[in-house]
Structures are given as C-alpha cells and as structure tokens.
C-alpha cells in the first residue's frame, strides 16, 4: 500500500512580474479576461479591454506598482514567499508551494511541483 504524502498549496490573487507597463498589461489582461472577474459578454468586453482599458491603465498602474515595489519584487509576492518559507520551516517534511490565481508562479506550476514531490493529499490555504 502506497503511503500518503501531504502537501500545502498557498494561494494568492497574483501580481505582475515587474512594475513596467508591459508586465502590468500582461497581468491585467489575464486578470480582467477571467469571466469570474468581469461578467460581461466577451463580444462587448474584449474591444473595451484591449482598446481602452489595457492601453490606458497599464502605464498608470505600473507607476503605482513602481512606488511600492521592493528590491525582492512585488510586495504581494515577497510577503507570500516569506509566509511559504516560514510554513515550510515549521513543517520540514511537508512540501509547501505558492501559486497565484493570476501571474506567476501560477497555480498550475505550484501543483505540478507538488505532484513531482509525490504529494497525494493537498491542503489549500488562501492568503487573501
């Protein structure tokens, strides 16, 4: 009989990879393309998103991210990683991964990592 192996997946909303208009645009596009976030017909929403919102908001939002960005990266990612490391230190025999609903590290990457470590039972902890 195969022994069960537990793992923990910490989940947070997400953040851009960099405080640049390009990275923010990529993040906002992923986030605002989710039908659970914006419940509008794609025929109506896509032109608004791609023609108005992304071109206008990305540079403005990038400036806001620049004002809070840390040497290690996005504050959300930095603090989420610190929580991951602290939990992993308290549970040295249990794999602990971080996944973001939008952006990186993605939920798929985190789950793939846990599966590669032989995890058979997963505890999911939202950080938001």
Q: Where are the domains of the chain?
A: 1-16+74-127, 17-70
Find, among 122, 74, 76, the residue nearest to 96 by Cα.
Answer: 122
Rounded mean pLDDT, 110-126 = 97
Return d(Cα 20, Cα 96) in angstroms, integer. 29
pLDDT at 128: 78
Whole-model pTM: value is 0.89
List Cβ neighbours of 125 (8 Å cut-off, separation of 6 or more): 8, 9, 10, 11
pLDDT at 81: 97
Give the confidence band of 1 by pLDDT, cuts at 50, 70, 90. Answer: low
- List pLDDT tens digits, range 4-61: 999 999 999 999 999 999 999 999 999 999 999 999 999 999 999 999 999 999 999 9
- List pLDDT tens digits, range 68-97: 999 999 999 999 999 999 999 999 999 999
Q: Dihedral of the CA atoms 20, 26, 32, 35 (nearest 10)?
A: -160
Check pLDDT > 80 for residue 62: yes
The CATH classification number of 1-16+74-127 equals 3.40.50.1400
């Amino acid at each position: 009989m195969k022994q069960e192996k537990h793992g923990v997946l910490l989940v947070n909303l997400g953040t851009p990879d960099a405080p640049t208009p390009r990275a923010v645009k990529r993040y906002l596009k992923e986030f605002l393309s989710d039908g659970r976030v914006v419940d509008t017909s794609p025929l109506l929403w896509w032109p608004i998103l791609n023609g108005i919102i992304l071109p206008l908001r990305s540079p403005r939002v990038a400036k806001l991210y620049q004002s809070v960005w840390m040497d290690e990266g996005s504050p959300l990612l930095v603090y989420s990683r610190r929580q991951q490391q602290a939990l992993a230190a308290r549970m040295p025999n249990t794999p602990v991964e971080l996944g973001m609903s939008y952006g990186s590290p993605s939920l798929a990457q985190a789950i793939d990592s846990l599966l590669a470590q032989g995890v058979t039972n997963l505890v999911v902890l939202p950080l938001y």
